[in-house]
Amino acid sequence: AYHNFYHVFDVTQTAYAMATKTGALARLSPWLRFALLTAALCHDLEHPGVSSPFLANVKSQEIAGAFKDVLLEKHHALRAFEVMVWQDIGILKGLSSESYWAFRHAVAGCILATDF
């Protein structure tokens, strides 16, 4: 399957390398750097191995219903934050409400930008 650990590693390393080479990484705040790399890591979280158009045409409500608006990227972003705020993980629990929503907006924006 294409959407595996190697794909995640490749995308994350490529995002880091491109952001470093272009100087973008140096211009980002530490939290936006974290958001960029988090988005790269999570951009295909729980990918089912089929495309959004396939899911839109599938007859099974069980499969189609698992993905909000059958847009996979929304699902990936949603699940990323469900994991990050999970009590046993709590990566973001030290953030203020304002910082949390800014971080979430940045990560989700990057993940949603991968829909093409």
Active-site positions? 3
DSSP 8-state symbol, 45: T
CA-based nearest residue to 51, from 30, 18, 29, 75: 75
CA-based nearest residue to 43, from 18, 89, 78, 19: 78
- Which residues in 19-106 belong to E strands, given as ranges? none
